[in-house]
């Protein structure tokens, strides 16, 4: 890592953020890459794996989501997955190189019947030496406390878009509702995974406002997923205009400058990106990806392709280290884990 001093701020103005978006493309990437090198190893990518543990019938009306009960889509409804099945997928993800296992449930908020099983899943994933993230919708203070006690590493709750564009995408939950849930999670000492979706018909100003909201939180989200809209058939946004790839890369670069120590993750939409676009995103500061053939209900770039791309770029996945594993899991994993790749700052 370079020695450039990092400017950690929580008081960005909209004009400042728009000014970053307005920079010449190469100048913006140059600045973002300098910030990235100061905080992270630029040749290392953190792998996360995502599993849908409860699919479909969500009462929310998010315009991008094929799991909404408000939309006529091809998604098959599934009840909460069994704990053993989740643990099997988590082990498989770890053995393929994931250091974080994420679980998503299509709920407005967890119910009392299923929530204890989710806590069991969280505890189980943590015994594997992996970070654990869940996205379960809105929470109350008691649920947050139980997730913290179970060892949850991250809670994902995306803002999705700017406050001004939000009601064009979602009407069943207020923007402030999301902020309130994030505040409870942060106050409990759980790390936050929070980002948004690009390409939902928003203007560049909306992308700037979204990133301003994230950067001006009391502490930056430790993980910032930047999603590219997957235009799911049957959703209100299935015919949304395709976002220029360079505009997407700009969003990644601005996120890196605003939140220097956050992991910036390429999330949904990677299966539609060419390798050159992904390489530009990595240069601009993206240093985490979801890998595996499926993200909740949509297709994803294959694991083999991801590993091949990293090899072609002389990059490497972040690795598990001995302190991530219990003695039992270290033995099950095949003995000591190589230590030549250190943890990324802020992971």
User: With contact defined as beta carbons under 8 Å apart, do 181 and 158 qualify?
Assistant: no
List 91, 100, 133, 209, catalytic entry: 133
List 31, 94, 102, 194, catalytic entry: 102
Q: Distance of alpha carbon 240 from its chain centroid, rounded? A: 22
Q: Is 265 a catalytic residue?
A: yes
Q: Is 209 a catalytic residue?
A: no
Q: Is 194 a catalytic residue?
A: no
List 31, 62, 173, 256, catalytic entry: 62
Name residues whose C-beta falls within 8 Å of residue 231's C-beta, 6 or more positions apart in sequence: 237, 238, 239, 240
Q: Is 94 a catalytic residue?
A: no
Q: Is 298 a catalytic residue?
A: no
List 58, 132, 194, 281, catalytic entry: 58
List 132, 193, 194, 281, catalytic entry: 193
Q: Is 343 a catalytic residue?
A: no
List 100, 207, 265, 270, catalytic entry: 265
Cα gap 59→61, rounded to integer Å: 7
> What is the 3-class SS of the chain, one letter each residue?
CCCCCCCCCCCCCHHHHHHHHCCCHHHHHHHHHHHHHHHCCCCEEEEEEEEEEEECCECCCCCCCCCECCCCCCCCCECCCCHHHHHHHHHHHHHCCCCEEEEEECCCCCCCCCHHHHHHHHHHHHHCCCEEEEECCCCCHHHHHHHHHHCCCEEECCCECCHHHHCCCCCCCCHHHHHHHHHHHHHCCCEEECCEEECCCCCHHHHHHHHHHHHCCCCCCCEEEEEECCCCCCCCCCCCCCCCHHHHHHHHHHHHHHCCCCEEEECCCHHHCCHHHHHHHHHHCCCEEECCCEECCEECCCHHHHHHHHHHCCCEECCCCHHHCCHHHHHHCCCCCCCCCCCCCCC
Catalytic residues: 58, 62, 65, 102, 133, 193, 265
């Amino acid at each position: 890592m370079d020695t450039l001093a990092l400017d950690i701020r929580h008081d960005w103005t909209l004009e400042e953020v728009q000014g970053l978006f307005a920079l010449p493309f190469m100048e913006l990437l140059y600045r973002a890459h300098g910030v990235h090198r100061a905080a992270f190893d630029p040749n290392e990518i953190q792998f996360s794996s995502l599993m849908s543990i409860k699919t479909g019938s969500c009462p929310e009306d998010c315009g991008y989501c094929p799991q909404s009960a408000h939309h006529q889509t091809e998604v098959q409804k599934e009840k909460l997955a069994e704990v053993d099945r989740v643990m099997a997928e988590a082990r498989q993800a770890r053995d393929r190189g994931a250091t974080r296992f994420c679980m998503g449930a299509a709920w407005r908020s967890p119910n009392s019947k299923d929530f204890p099983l989710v806590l069991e899943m969280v505890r189980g994933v943590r015994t594997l030496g992996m970070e654990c993230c869940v996205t379960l919708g809105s929470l109350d203070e008691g649920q947050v406390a139980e997730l913290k006690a179970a060892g949850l590493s991250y809670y994902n709750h995306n803002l999705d878009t700017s406050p001004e564009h939000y009601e064009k995408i979602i009407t069943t939950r207020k923007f402030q509702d999301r902020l309130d849930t994030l505040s409870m999670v942060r106050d409990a000492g759980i790390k936050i995974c929070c980002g948004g979706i690009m390409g939902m018909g928003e203007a560049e100003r909306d992308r700037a406002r979204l990133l301003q909201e994230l950067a001006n939180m009391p502490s930056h989200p430790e993980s910032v997923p930047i999603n590219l809209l997957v235009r799911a058939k049957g959703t209100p946004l299935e015919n949304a205009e395709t976002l220029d790839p360079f505009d997407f890369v700009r969003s990644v670069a601005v996120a890196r400058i605003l939140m220097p120590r956050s992991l910036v993750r390429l999330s949904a939409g990677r299966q539609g990106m060419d390798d050159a676009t992904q390489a530009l995103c990595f240069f601009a500061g993206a240093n985490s990806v979801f890998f595996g053939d499926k993200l909740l209900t949509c297709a994803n770039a294959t694991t083999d392709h991801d590993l091949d791309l990293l090899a072609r770029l002389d990059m490497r996945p972040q690795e598990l280290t001995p302190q991530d594993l219990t003695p039992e899991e270290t033995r099950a994993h095949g003995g000591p884990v190589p230590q030549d790749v250190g943890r990324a700052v802020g992971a």
